[in-house]
Structure 1
Amino acid sequence: MVNKENHQITEPEKVGTRKTRKKPWKIRLKQWGIWKVGLLAIGIILVFIIFMSIITSLFSGTAGVSDSLGTSNEAVSKSDQALPGETSSTSGVADSGFQFDVTKIIYSGNISLYVDDFQSTFEKIAAYTLAQEGFVQDASSSTTEINQNSVPNSGYLTIRVPAAKFTEAMKEIQSYGTPISSSINSTNISQQYQDVQGQLDNLKIEEARLQDYLNQAETTSDLLLIETELNRVRTEIDNRTTMIKNWDNEINYSTIVVSLSEKAIGTSTVESPFSGLIQKISQSFIASINVILTGLAMLIVLMVRLIPFAAVLGFGYLIYRQIKKKKS
């Protein structure tokens, strides 16, 4: 291109191809505006708060888990033991190296069943108990005539089964009907057992010593005094011996109380399926309303929890729009 004044040839200017220098950050902040800078600051604060919350929750969760594991390991080593017939994964040794005795545990269970035929199930449970080398300790039943309008047949059995077959018996008996409820209880009497056994051993030693004194007594007064003390010691020995025998019986044979209720409806009466229909409808309607309200409450809580994330995403979207606008 020729310049008329200076008669010099100059290169044509290329529009849109000249590289512009980057502006300082202060000038760019002024061009953004105060509200954009404020949004940027708020976004940075929100991201920092969320990041710190996550870090805090992770560290606190790890500490809580470690504390709970330390406590639970000690508790498991002392109390949590496998049921008879099951394999235990714990050794029963606490962290301090203390050997906790779990050799003397009494197991008991309770089972409630709905059955189709009360009498046959009653007899089936009794036969199963005998087949497991156990026995029926107590039993009671209440049966009615078919033509009588009364409550369904019901009753209970208190059975004793070998401790090694306790878990198997609990599962087997529950398969004889529809379970209503079931529970298992275990009592560790190892420490009490050891204490009583130690007292019994000491009393036997004292009995032998008194017997020697009795053989060496020379006067009647000494003889009477030693015999009185010997009778007292022998009475204590009998009491503790009986206590240990009862404990051995309960340890070796677990107790299961089985309650039976017949589901069959008497054939002599007609029970209308429409009885209490209005009450059932009202209860169903109220239950549906409660479900809807619960869902709304959960939705509101979820929306409130998502507000910080929505703010961060919105702020990120604004920044993306600004960057895209400047590039274009």
Structure 2
Amino acid sequence: MPQWIYLTLCLLLGSLAGCSSAGGDRSGAGAESAEASASAPLQGKSSGRLLVWTASFTLEVADMDKAKLQLSQRMLALGGYVEEKSDNGDYSQYFVFRVPKDAFETALGGIEQSGKVLSRHVKAEDVTEQYVDVETRLNNNRALRDRLKDLLGKAKSVQDILQIETELNRIQSEIDSMEARMRVLKDQIQMATLKVELRQQAEEKPPTIYGPLGYVYKGAEWFITKLFIIRE
């Protein structure tokens, strides 16, 4: 391989390795920030950080059909949609809703109005450093791809062309993976996730009212029991 092509490849790959190393440091810092922000109040949305909001609820409802219809209508009215749904018969129903991040607090209130809250968990994950890291490495890889394409146009020998094309394919594969990751992150940031389990309220049994013979029977049952069992 001509010396100028070899030196150019070394410089390009060296700069890419340096960017990847720096990105790894940012990812570590992002993990600490995410853990710290998870307990922050909802007002943290306006702090300029990129947050992924999730919530999970367990509700007890008196009328399952009415509750799930009202809940779905409330989420749809906020611009959301049903991502997942499972039916466990008359006993319980499970939903996963996605709503725009700006409607997250309103959605929380709508869920709480749908039944008796048995459990509630709200979490915010800070993905700012992760997002910046992926975005930076993606831009660097795109720039490297463009330089390699320019270098490919100047290569003369078959060996040089094959080596540059191999490196181009590797860089393009990384770009495709990072672009997919960016799409997932953007979707998680823009659309909050709410998991809701609806449980049917148990029917209260009416109190038993004994007639005259009923009281005689219950008394005889108690007396016979005491003859055989003194203490349990």
Name the TM-score, length of structure 2 as normaliser: 0.69
The structure richer in helix per residue is 2
Q: Aligned in 2, Cα 1:229/1:87: closer, same or farther, shift over 3 Å?
A: closer
Number of the residue aligned with 2:200? 262
Number of the residue aligned with 2:83? 137
Aligned length: 174
Given the alignment, which residue of 154, 163, 166 partners 1:216?
154
Q: Aligned in 2, Cα 1:176/1:225: closer, same or farther, shift over 3 Å?
A: same
Q: Could you list the per-position Cα deviations for residues 28-56 of structure 1 after superposition, in whole angstroms to 9, with x for gaps in the alignment?
A: xxxxxxxxxxxxxxxxxxxxxxxxxxxxx
For residue 197 of structure 1, give the secondary structure of its aligned residue in structure 2: helix
Q: Tell me the percent identity.
A: 28
Number of the residue aligned with 1:228? 166
Number of the residue aligned with 2:53? 107
Task: Give the superposed CA RMSD.
Answer: 2.4
Number of the residue aligned with 2:180? 242
Given the alignment, which residue of 49, 69, 89 partners 1:123?
69
By how many angstroms is 1:213 displaced? 1.0
Instruction: In structure 2, list runs of 5 or more residues that go unmatched.
Output: 1-32, 210-232
Q: Aligned in 2, Cα 1:215/1:114: closer, same or farther, shift over 3 Å?
A: same
Cα distance in 2 for partners of 1:223, 1:82 equals: 56
- Conserved 8 A contact 1:159-1:257: yes
Instruction: In structure 1, list runs of 5 or more residues that go unmatched.
Output: 1-74, 93-101, 145-152, 275-328
The structure richer in strand per residue is 2
- Conserved 8 A contact 1:117-1:264: no
For residue 79 of structure 2, give the secondary structure of its aligned residue in structure 1: coil
Given the alignment, which residue of 183, 187, 191 partners 2:129?
191
Cα distance in 1 for partners of 2:72, 2:87 equals: 13
Q: Which runs of 4+ in 1 moved over 4 A?
A: 270-274
For residue 143 of structure 1, give the secondary structure of its aligned residue in structure 2: coil
The structure whose RCO (Cα within 8 Å, separation 6+) is larger is 2
By how many angstroms is 1:87 displaced? 7.6
Q: How does 1:1-328 map to 2 (within 5 A)?
A: 79=37, 81-83=40-42, 86=43, 102-144=48-90, 153-265=91-203
Name the TM-score, length of structure 1 as normaliser: 0.49
Cα distance in 2 for partners of 1:87, 1:168 equals: 16
By how many angstroms is 1:271 displaced? 7.2
Rg: which structure is higher?
Answer: 1
Q: Aligned in 2, Cα 1:206/1:265: closer, same or farther, shift over 3 Å?
A: same
